[in-house]
Chain A
Amino acid sequence: MLTRFANPQRFVRLASWLTPVLGISAGIALALGIWQSFASPPDAEHGETVRIMYVHVPAAWSAMAAYTGIAVASLISFVWRHPLADIGARSLALPGAAMTALSLITGSLWGKADWGTYWQWDGRMTSVLILLFIYIGYMAIWQVVSDRKRAARLAAITAMIGWINIPIIKFSVDWWNSLHQSATVSSPGAPGLAPEFLAPLMTMALAYTLLLAWFVMRNMQAEVAAMRRARRPAPVATATIEAM
């Protein structure tokens, strides 16, 4: 699998059909998810604000998934110097940061409606804010370091160290007393979510995942195309050499 996609040509062939499929299915899942979110009944305890959850929870999930993806791709890029891995890691950064910002914004709106405060200095909220700063720092390394190969290695080191924040986010609600509710969907033995709330949540989670994958594939295609273009000699220069 790793060596198979060491050849960018294979990746380009795969991306040419996979990217549109991902984009279209993301659109369909998103439309279905939004319809489901408004068709579902309001919650007995939280009222209409429960609909914020359908935007907030998948955003937080995909923000963490995107960062984990960056860390894994960085490891592959660092150890095997895989040419596509650092492009993949770089492509995940901007959508991941956007998802983090979205989950922070929707989370604070939920907090105002439900807890009476936009922000609380507890483990979950603080660690997600730290994640946003780690994303910004990671993208800044790519911006600042001009040499591409060096930037890839330095960014990979940054991404792998920053990953220690992900388990902190995951377990922050168990480690600290928080206003934020603890894991409801994933923990075994938890009361879980009623099916009428779970269905839109799962559709939205699928839609976010497809959307993230589509963003990444589009960005990787663009990066590969840009690299090829940079490698091709400028037509004017060749003409002068031939003339001489």
Chain B
Amino acid sequence: MIGALIKRELRLSLRRGSSVVLPLTFMALFVLLCGLALGGSRPELGPGLLWLAATLSVLLGLERLYQPDQASGALAQLHLAGISSVSIAVAKACAFAISTLLPLLLAAPLLALILGMSGGQITGAMLSLVIGGPALIAYASVSAALLCAQRGSAVLSVLLSAPLLIPVLIFGVEAAQSYPTLGLGAVQFRILAGLSLLALALGGPATAAAISANRGPA
């Protein structure tokens, strides 16, 4: 059931087109602007910039996650079809990760080369994004589900998820920076993995509860 839902989400986002291209373009432009503003190749800032770009692109996609389906009544139809809110939350989060985070991960090495990062730094940044990515997705999906019934609440959902993302951002950047010297055994990687697991454990039920709370007439 979750597989069918994921397929539906991916098909929808492919047909929209913009939802894959937009975050990619945004991330590339962001890194380009930062490179220009901060004065050319700054490999020491690379992990931070890549993490910032990934976080901002995820926040940019928040509004697309639940709002269209809530507005069109698709969420209510899925509920009537007997699909639990948890399945919807898991499927939406997986599809969001595939359509938003995966293209960013594929583009990240190229952007890292623009910033002049070395091989070890690029690997560290990629690994930290892979390990910390679930936390980004989990918190983003909670705040998207909380406000899906409110029109024009994009800024507020960014405000809600950003405080929760700050620890992930801190340890993600630290893990990426410690990779060239300490490798995957660095304590920051373990903390990042812990944060991701905690976010998944909290985010799943909370997203499902938020979907249920937004059901029905306002």
- Give me the interface of A with B, judged by CB distance under 8 Å: 78, 126, 130, 133-134, 136-137, 140-141, 144-147, 150, 153-154, 157-158, 160-162, 164-165, 168
Chain B nearest CB from A115 CB (Å) reads 21
Contact B163 A145 (CB under 8 A): no
Chain B, residues 158-199, CB within 8 Å of chain A (1/0): the string is 011011101100100000000000000000000000000010
Complex CA–CA separation, A126 to B170 (angstroms): 10
B142 interface contact, C-beta 8 A: yes
The reply on B147 being an interface residue by CB < 8 A is: yes
Range of interface residues on chain B? 20 to 34
**What A residues does B163 contact at CB under 8 A?**
130, 133-134, 137, 162, 165
B150 sits at the interface (CB 8 A): yes
Cα-based distance from A161 to B199 in the complex (angstroms): 9
Which among A78, A126, A140, A146 is the interface contact of B166 at CB below 8 angstroms?
A126
A161 and B142 contact, Cβ closer than 8 Å, known pairs A144-B150, A144-B156, A145-B150: yes
For the complex, give the distance between the alpha carbons of A29 and B152 in Å: 46
Complex Cα gap A150–B212 (Å): 10
14 pairs, CB–CB < 8 Å, chain A vs chain B: A133-B159, A134-B163, A141-B156, A144-B153, A145-B149, A146-B218, A147-B218, A153-B213, A154-B210, A154-B213, A157-B209, A157-B210, A158-B146, A164-B198
Closest 10 CB pairs of A and B: A153-B213, A133-B163, A137-B160, A130-B163, A147-B218, A134-B163, A137-B159, A154-B146, A157-B206, A157-B209
Contact residues in B for A150 (Cβ distance below 8 Å): 149, 213-214, 218
Residues of B within 8 A of A137 (CB): 156, 159-160, 163
Tell whether B110 is near chain A: CB-to-CB under 8 Å: no
Determine the distance from Cα of A74 to Cα of B83 in the docked complex, in whole angstroms.
27
Q: Which residues of A contact B142 (CB under 8 A)?
A: 157, 161
Chain A residues with Cβ below 8 Å from B206 are 157, 160-161
**Cα–Cα distance between A126 and B168 once the two chains are bound (Å):** 13
Is B29's CB within 8 Å of the partner chain A?
A: no
The distance from the CB of B168 to the nearest CB of chain A, in whole angstroms, is: 12
In addition to A133-B163, A157-B146, A158-B146, 18 A-B residue pairs with Cβ atoms within 8 Å of each other are A130-B167, A133-B159, A133-B162, A134-B163, A136-B159, A137-B159, A144-B150, A144-B153, A146-B218, A153-B213, A154-B146, A157-B206, A157-B213, A158-B160, A161-B206, A162-B163, A164-B198, A165-B163
Q: When chains A and B are docked, how far (Å) is the Cα of A126 from the Cα of B166?
A: 9
**Shortest Cβ distance from residue A132 to the other chain B in the assembled complex, whole angstroms:** 9
Kindly state the separation between the CA atoms of A137 and B150 in the bound complex, as whole angstroms. Answer: 15
**Cα distance A78–B202 in the bound complex, in angstroms:** 15
Collect the chain A residues with CB atoms within 8 Å of residue B214's CB: 150, 154
Residues of A within 8 A of B147 (CB): 141, 144, 154
Please determine whether B162 and A168 come into contact, CB atoms closer than 8 angstroms: no
Q: How far is the CA of A128 from the CA of B218 in the complex (A)?
A: 34
Which residues of chain B are near A146, meaning CB under 8 Å? Answer: 218
Q: How far is the CA of A78 from the CA of B159 in the complex (A)?
A: 23
